[in-house]
């Protein structure tokens, strides 16, 4: 017997969803609002929502003090670069696990996922020493390798879930027609998995863009992304809330725009395979 939701229950669920959504969005709204205030108005009590002197001087000072576009370019290179490198490894790995599984496949998947449970600080010292000895500190190449390895388990899991939904008969038909393994993956599998690959790319670009721990510990200036750009506005003299809010708004704006226009793909990527 099907459980039908009553109109009252539907309204109650909608109100609850709106409340949760507003609570999640409020810190972002307050950050943007504070970025248009002076430092005095940013810490005034009670806080003002609309009735204050709006100013753009924080954005001008942030750009004058720090080259925003250099940090933004580093973030683009690191996030996109690590995602593309990750796909080169994740696609064949997920293909092997989805279409040629062994009795150890599930164990391997769980082991890969378990690596995400390890606190990054536990391996900071050895990775830092390796980077120091190999001359990878404050380099884009070094950070791309770290971000790619950090997000590889998620990429493999997502692609594995998508590939499992593709009928193996199609790949077998391609083999019977004489397709080699590379052609099978490139010309048969990948075109059918474009939505899954796009969702995987979007999610991992966002994860790499927001990564702060490794970018703050392995960079200083040359390869520093927007996370380091934000952290530079925390000083021993104290926090300058208006300038910090302006810097944070500039840092999160690109990824918020991408997330807004690709939310359907992101939701599908996160929930694909969860409901049959």
Which CATH number characterizes residue 77's domain? 1.10.3720.10
205 exposure class (CB count in 10 Å sphere: 0-12, 13-18, 19+):
buried
pLDDT tier at 78 (50, 70, 90 boundaries)?
very high
pLDDT at 48 over 90: no
- What is the C-alpha to C-alpha distance for residues 232 and 224, in angstroms, rounded to an integer? 11
pLDDT at 259 over 80: no
Q: What mean pLDDT is predicted for residues 12-26? A: 86
Place of tokens 């993956």: 185
Residue 259 lies in a domain: no
Residue 87 lies in a domain: yes
Q: Are residues 12 and 129 in the same domain?
A: no
Residue 243 lies in a domain: no
pLDDT number for residue 4: 60
Q: Are residues 81 and 181 in the same domain?
A: yes
Residue 105 backbone zone (phi > 0: left; psi -120 to 50: alpha; other: beta): alpha
- What is the C-alpha to C-alpha distance for residues 182 and 248, in angstroms, rounded to an integer? 44
pLDDT number for residue 237: 61
Q: Are residues 74 and 49 in the same domain?
A: no
86: containing domain: 67-233
pLDDT number for residue 141: 94
Q: Are residues 81 and 211 in the same domain?
A: yes
Residue 241 lies in a domain: no
Q: Are residues 22 and 87 in the same domain?
A: no
Residue 272 lies in a domain: no
Q: Are residues 76 and 193 in the same domain?
A: yes
pLDDT number for residue 270: 62
Q: What is this structure's pTM?
A: 0.81
pLDDT number for residue 88: 92
Residue 251 lies in a domain: no
Residue 276 lies in a domain: no
Residue 257 lies in a domain: no
pLDDT tier at 81 (50, 70, 90 boundaries)?
very high
Q: What mean pLDDT is predicted for residues 210-219? A: 90
Q: Which of the pair, 211 or 169, is modelled with greater confidence? A: 211
Q: Are residues 93 and 229 in the same domain?
A: yes
Q: Are residues 48 and 160 in the same domain?
A: no
Q: What total of structural domains would you count in the chain?
A: 2
State the DSSP code for 6: P
Q: Are residues 88 and 42 in the same domain?
A: no
pLDDT at 35 over 80: yes
Strands 234-235 and 238-239 come out as: antiparallel
Per-residue pLDDT tens for 105-117?
888 888 888 888 8
Q: Are residues 161 and 44 in the same domain?
A: no
Q: Which of the pair, 174 or 214, is modelled with greater confidence? A: 214
Per-residue pLDDT tens for 83-127?
999 999 998 898 888 888 888 888 888 888 888 888 888 889 999
Q: Are residues 137 and 13 in the same domain?
A: no
Q: Are residues 48 and 177 in the same domain?
A: no
Q: What is the overall mean pLDDT for the chain?
A: 83
Q: What mean pLDDT is predicted for residues 4-10? A: 69
């Amino acid at each position: 017997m099907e459980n039908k939701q009553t109109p009252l229950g539907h309204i109650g669920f909608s109100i609850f969803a709106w409340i949760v959504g507003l609570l999640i969005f409020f810190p972002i709204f307050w950050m943007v609002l504070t970025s248009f205030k002076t430092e005095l108005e940013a810490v005034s009590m009670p806080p003002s929502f609309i009735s204050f002197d709006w100013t753009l001087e924080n954005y001008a000072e942030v750009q004058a003090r720090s080259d925003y576009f250099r940090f933004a370019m580093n973030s683009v290179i690191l996030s996109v670069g690590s995602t593309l490198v990750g796909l080169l490894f994740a696609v064949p790995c997920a293909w092997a696990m989805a279409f040629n599984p062994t009795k150890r496949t599930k164990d391997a998947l769980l082991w890969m996922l378990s690596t995400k449970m390890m606190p990054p600080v536990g391996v900071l010292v050895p990775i830092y020493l390796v980077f120091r000895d190999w001359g990878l500190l404050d380099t884009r190449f070094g950070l791309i390798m770290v971000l790619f390895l950090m997000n590889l388990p998620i990429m493999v899991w997502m692609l594995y879930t998508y590939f499992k939904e593709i009928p193996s008969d199609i790949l077998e038909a391609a083999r019977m027609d004489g397709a080699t393994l590379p052609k099978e993956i490139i010309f048969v599998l990948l075109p059918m998995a474009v939505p899954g690959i796009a969702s995987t790319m979007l999610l991992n670009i966002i994860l790499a863009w927001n990564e702060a721990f490794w970018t703050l510990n392995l960079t200083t200036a040359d390869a520093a992304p927007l996370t380091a750009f934000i952290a530079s506005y925390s000083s021993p003299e104290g926090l300058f809330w208006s300038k910090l809010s302006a810097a944070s708004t500039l840092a999160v704006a690109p990824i918020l725009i991408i997330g807004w226009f690709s939310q359907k793909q992101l939701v599908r990527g996160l929930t694909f395979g969860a409901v049959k």
